[in-house]
Amino acid sequence: MLESWSPTIAGETGPKYLAIVRALTADIRAGRLAPGARLPPQRALAKQLNVDLTTVTRAFNEARRVGLIDATAGRGSFVRGPRSPAAEVPRPDPSGSIDFSMNMPPQPAAARLAERLEAGLSRLAGSSGFLARMQYQDSAGNLADRAAAAHWLGQRLGTLPVQRVLVAGGAQVVLAAVLAAILKPGDALCVPALTYPGLRTAAERRGVRLVPVAGDAEGLEPDAFRERCETERPRALYLVPTLDNPTTATLPAVRRRQIAEIARTHGVAIIEDDAYGALPLDAPAPIASQASDITWHIATLSKCASPGLRVAYVAVPGTNEAVRLAAELRAINLMASPLTAALASHWIAEGELDAVVAAIRQENALRQAVARETLQGLDVRGHPCGHHLWLRLPAFWRRGEFGAHARQLGVSVIPSDAFAVGPAPEAIRVSLGAAPDAETLRYGLSLLATLLAHPPGAISTVV
């Protein structure tokens, strides 16, 4: 029995709970902690290290998840014995799954989201006119928030009149409102053959007919779009031009110009869902910057800052379109949350939003590097600034069967069926943002890599 173990974490970088796990791993490998050794109680270790109890609890949970220790209620935590080679990629604790299905941005410590939220809300609460801000607002957003939105969008779109900018409670609300504003039931809407599921849901509820348009590694093919315009006479085109969801493709500038020209020639409105446009530093200019008269440009903060803000900004072709969209937003969601809209405006004014985006961009690059290393040799596409991957399965796997096996290992992914308008390829989307840290991410991806390296019939001998 050894209850006097004292890890050395001074000078360690990164989260303290991971420093404890690294110290535990090192002491086990060095023989300083033998199999069966009893670890100190969590509360005693927290006091000894001068850290929160939750930090030690998280460290012990992580150590138990990766197979370093066992824990028994009432008895304590003990170092596990050596594992056999067959358990090199262990089955995770069924009480905690790894979520690669939700496409959300990571929340790195460098973003200081909790600190920025607390400071921003405190500043707002102490400002004059705060209570007036908490009353019902115009469905297009109040002028202060629309001005902040115009400033932030203007970094990529150029100068925008406030009258053409609206503030809404998330991109999904905007998509439903835009479809209601410009399409009637039965109208044709061109979409990429693999497209965002939220758009599919909104279109189905509106009774809009989806027309798939072929694409390649660079995104939507202009010639395929032109052919659809000539044969299907669509009223609008929907696309995600930068870091496409799910394929991760980014449309080159020349294609954006060609698509805008084709749309104008055929009288087609463009719905530009620029959810990820703020993340890459080298992304081509949005379509709305060169075709503002026909483009409904949507930029949500959910994918580049935090889903909890529930704030999206919309730049519409003109003031008449702004009035129409405001009416639809009023019917669907009344207004954006005044509190989070005001917080976003404050962050924009103080440069805080750009700092959050920069931290997420940096974290995405780190996670993409982990993915490239762990999934090396597989048919996978990603972007250094994005937080999802598009992974084509080996010939011996089918997407439904693969998803089921992954779930048995405690890993959730999204098969291509969720995105396909027509036949679905044998592929999955893997989202990297929900994993709490790089170690969990690497572990989950290693489970996927193990599955992908073996045909289904061999899996029971591997895991």
Which tens digit of pLDDT belongs to each residue from 282-308? 999 999 999 999 999 999 999 999 999
Domain 14-77 fold: Arc Repressor Mutant, subunit A (1.10.10)
Q: What is the rounded average pLDDT for all residues in the chain?
A: 91
Q: What is the CATH number of domain 135-349?
A: 3.40.640.10
What is the CB-side half-sphere exposure of residue 200 using CA atoms within 13 A?
Answer: 15
pLDDT per residue as tens digits for the range 139-150: 999 999 999 999
Q: Is the pLDDT of residue 2 over 60?
A: no
The pLDDT value recorded for residue 86 is 36
Q: Is the pLDDT of residue 359 over 90?
A: yes
Mean pLDDT of 362-383: 96
Q: How far apart are CA 60 and CA 54, in angstroms?
A: 10
Is-contact 433 103, C-beta < 8 A?
yes
Mean pLDDT of 17-35: 85
Mean pLDDT of 312-338: 97
Q: How far apart are CA 83 and CA 34, in angstroms?
A: 13
Q: Is the pLDDT of residue 104 over 60?
A: yes
Q: Is the pLDDT of residue 461 over 70?
A: no
Q: What is the CATH number of domain 96-107+356-456?
A: 3.90.1150.10
The pLDDT value recorded for residue 46 is 86
The pLDDT value recorded for residue 267 is 98
Per the model's pLDDT, the better-predicted residue between 458 and 423 turns out to be: 423
The pLDDT value recorded for residue 463 is 42
Q: Is the pLDDT of residue 384 over 90?
A: yes
Q: Is the pLDDT of residue 387 over 50?
A: yes
For 2, 37, 58, 80, 411, the CA distances from 34, given in Å and listed in that order, are: 9, 6, 22, 8, 31
The pLDDT value recorded for residue 87 is 33
Model confidence band, residue 73 (pLDDT cutoffs 50, 70, 90): low
The share of the chain scoring above pLDDT 70, in percent, equals 94
Mean pLDDT of 322-342: 96
Q: How far apart are CA 317 and CA 182, in angstroms?
A: 12
pLDDT per residue as tens digits for the range 108-164: 999 999 999 999 999 999 998 889 889 999 999 999 999 999 999 999 999 999 999
Model confidence band, residue 459 (pLDDT cutoffs 50, 70, 90): low
Q: Is the pLDDT of residue 441 over 80?
A: yes
- Tell me 301's DSSP state: S
Helical pair 53-65 and 42-49, crossing angle rounded to 10 deg: 120
Per the model's pLDDT, the better-predicted residue between 113 and 28 turns out to be: 113
Model confidence band, residue 371 (pLDDT cutoffs 50, 70, 90): very high
Q: How far apart are CA 342 and CA 330, in angstroms?
A: 19
The structure tokens 């031009």 sit at 241
The share of the chain scoring above pLDDT 90, in percent, equals 74
Mean pLDDT of 51-64: 81
Domains in the chain: boundaries: 14-77, 96-107+356-456, 135-349
The pLDDT value recorded for residue 96 is 54
Bond before 246 cis per omega within 30 degrees = yes
Least confident residue range of 322-326, 327-331, 451-455: 451-455
Structure tokens that stand for 77 in this block: 């935590």
Residue 107, Cβ neighbours under 10 Å: how many?
A: 20
